[in-house]
Structure 1
Amino acid sequence: MGGTEILNLFGFEVEEQPISIYPYSPVYRVKYGDQEVVVKRTQKKAASVISYTTMLKDKGINVVTPVKLQVDNPQKYNDTNYVVYPFIEGEKYSGKDNEIYEAGKMLGQIHSCSPVTNVYDLLAYDVYDFNEEEVEESTEAIIHHAHKAGLKIDPAINTKLMESVAIQQELCNANLPHVATPHDYKANNLIFTPAPYLIDPDNAAWIPKIFDLALALLLFHNEHEEAPDRVFTRGEWELFLSGYREHMDITDEEKNFWEMAKQHVFLDEVMWLMAEYEEDWQKLSQQKLFNSLIQMLLNSADYKLV
């Protein structure tokens, strides 16, 4: 489906094919009267996401919710849902200490608003079925992509990822505290106004809380030109957590499973990213980020939940 058709769903009459403002999926910035809006794809459980984000907004969280239009918003075309959000003016993340602290604080606020059960019927996390063959194939792809980019990858990554396969059922059976969360909490989904404003809540899910924290630790700087081309330093991570803990506690049980959680989220969220997107290995900033992620996987003990 072309961009003009997507926009026409909502009554935006355009003749020329619009250009996406995001390189990885269709995101179109258009005028709606005097207002700037963004048209983008959302998940299949669009109604669940809207109910959840409306609750967050009602509780004072800066998060986009659908713009009121003369037609239904979101709209469905074939099996894909599209939604219109307001365009949020502000500054992009640049890795400043205050931005890191405020980002952690916002995630703590979001988690603190979560109900104790999945009352919003969000997608429930259930990815505990990785196997050794998948790891072997992905590791080979990662090493191949890195070699073409003139880099050498420590083969110990394979051993570490195999460990992650072995522990996934223990994590599944651990009955860890779950939260409703946007579950894609990273720098390129935040605009600073100057307080952080979440502009992409469309991956909202019901997930173990420490998995969401691990995702922020690993991929907060991914796909962001102004962000550092590495994971958080230990000091930055402690700063992020200090903001987070202003609103949300971390249990002893979660601290006990933290190392496993980091490995599992790497297996689930980072391994495929490195294996599937060969072109990213040709970008210097992504090369550095990937190398930083591998070093964290192999030496992650300094990044604690304290």
Structure 2
Amino acid sequence: MMNGIEILNIFGFNVKEEPISIYPYSPVYRVKYGVKDVVVKRTQKRAKNVMSYIHMLKDKGVNVVTPVKLQVDNPQKYGDTNFVVYPFIEGEKYSGKEKEVYEAGKMLGQIHSFSPVSNAYDLLEYDVYDFNQQEVEESMEAIIQHADKAGVEIDTRLQIKLLESVASQQEIYDAGLPHVATPHDFKANNLVLIPEPYLIDPDNAAWIPRIFDLALALLLFHNEHEEAPDEVFTTDEWELFLSGYKEYIVLTDHEKVFWEKAKQHVFLDEVMWLMAEYEEDWKNTSQQKLFNSLIRVVINSADYKLK
């Protein structure tokens, strides 16, 4: 069990009462450091590698949080988990305006453009290409059950699409797609607008096929966000996001060939478990709408092109 008092104390924040997390899914504590507010949150096992990478982004002019200078080392280890202290960034929340969509695409392009050509920061390498038919069938069973309880009907063509993705994993693994170093969780609830986007959660940083990261932004940009629309980008918004992205990045023809399969693979890896694991999400109307919109996108995914 995580002890918030102990976590804060290792950084020198002397607190007496158990702090309350400002994020429902993992410990994220907002505390005072002198006159400023800071955030103490979990980071990944390769904490030093992630910090080197985000310092590089910051040095290149990307608006991204980097560790606060403290009297003690930052990050710190608590049990088997690494924690880091970042500044608390004040600003507006994303609300789905056209300018925000465009600026977000531009920021992701900028981040990708600064990636080294090899995994120089030794970030976690993406290697999830081992889904099987049974996992899909079990997940679909859970999804249908949650949806039934919530009075929602699921398009059963979803299972066919997911099984297609299982079948094409080896092909996409062997495709030799261009990889990038990226924060790999680029979505609205990890951005604060001041008014340009500022990335407040770079802790999933990984070395991953570039179009997987782009597909993740397409599918889950609006996930877990109160002010964002309760659906995936419209095709017009996606074009806007891409137009910002392409100010920095020229995608290869090879990537365009594998885009359909990449979208389906990312759905299999990142979206299927979200829908299967969290029954309570199906009871939340906006999350329910987002899930239905995600299913529509994966079934008619040709509407979302790389052009």
Does the alignment reach a TM-score above 0.5? yes
- Quick one: distance in 2 between partners of 1:9 and 1:97? 43
RMSD of the TM alignment (CA)?
0.5
Q: What SS class does the counterpart of residue 76 from structure 1 fall into?
A: strand
In the aligned structure 2, how far is the partner of 1:263 from the partner of 1:117?
A: 25
**Match in the other structure for 1:60:** 61
Deviations 1:199-237 (A, max 9, x none): 000000000000000000000000000000000000000
Partner of 1:212: 213
Map of 1:90 onto structure 2: 91
Per-residue deviation, 1:156? 1.1
Q: Is residue 12 of structure 1 aligned with residue 31 of structure 2?
A: no
Aligned to 1:130: 131
Q: Could you tell me how far 1:77 is from its partner in structure 2?
A: 1.2
Paired amino acid for 2:220: L
Q: Which SS does the other structure have where 1:301 is aligned?
A: helix
Q: Secondary structure at the match of 1:23?
A: coil
Query: What pairs with 1:192-271 in structure 2 (closer than 5 Å)?
Result: 192-271=193-272
Amino acid paired to 1:199: I
SS of corresponding position for 2:303: coil
Per the alignment, residue 164 of structure 2 pairs with 163
Determine the C-alpha separation between the residues in 1 that align with 2:33 and 2:19. 15
- The ranges of structure 1 where at least 4 consecutive aligned residues each deviate by more than 4 angstroms after the TM superposition are none
Distance in 1 between residues matched to 2:275 and 2:214, nearest whole Å: 20
1:146-185 correspondence to structure 2 within 5 Å? 146-185=147-186
Between the aligned partners of 1:136 and 1:121, the Cα distance in structure 2 is 35
Partner secondary structure for residue 42 of structure 2: strand
| Aligned counterparts, 1:72-87, within 5 A | 72-87=73-88
> 1:3, CA displacement in angstroms?
1.0
Matched position secondary structure for 2:168: helix
For 1:137, the aligned partner's letter is E
Matched residue, 2:119: 118
Please state how far the C-alpha of 1:16 moved relative to its aligned partner: 1.2
**Where does residue 27 of structure 1 map in the other structure?**
28
Deviations 1:33-68 (A, max 9, x none): 011100000000000100000000000000000000
Alignment of 1:257-296 (within 5 A): 257-296=258-297
Q: Deviations over 1:69-94 (max 9, x none)?
A: 00110010111000000000110000
Structure 1-normalised TM-score? 0.99
Specify every segment of 5 or more residues in structure 1 that has no aligned partner in the other structure, as ranges: none
Partner of 1:70: 71
Output the TM-score relative to the length of structure 2: 0.99
Q: CA shift at 1:5, angstroms?
A: 1.1
Q: Distance in 1 between matches of 2:237 and 2:26?
A: 30
Alpha-carbon displacement from aligned partner over 1:91-122 (angstroms, at most 9, x marks no partner): 00000000000000000000000000000000
Letter of the 1:158 counterpart: Q
Q: Could you list the runs of 5+ residues in structure 2 that have no partner in the other structure?
A: none
Deviations 1:222-273 (A, max 9, x none): 0000000000000000000000000111111000000000000000000000
Aligned-partner Cα distance in 2 for 1:20–1:230: 27
C-alpha distance in 2 between matches for 1:135 and 1:125: 20
CA shift for structure 1 position 130: 0.2
Q: Kindly state the Cα deviation for residue 2 of structure 1 after the two structures are TM-superposed.
A: 1.4
Q: Distance in 1 between matches of 2:3 and 2:150?
A: 33
CA distance in 2, matches of 1:97, 1:21: 28
Provide the rounded CA distance (Å) in 2 between the counterparts of 1:111 and 1:164: 25
Q: Which residue of 2 aligns with 1:44?
A: 45
Deviation for aligned residue 1:175: 0.4
Write the distance in 2 (CA, Å) between the matches of 1:52 and 1:266. 27
Number of equivalent positions: 306
How many angstroms apart in 1 are the aligned matches of 2:250 and 2:4? 43
Superposed CA deviations along residues 9-36 of structure 1, whole A, max 9, x for unmatched, are: 1010111111111111110000000111
The amino acid across from 1:241 in the alignment is L
> Distance in 2 between the 1:45 and 1:282 partners?
36
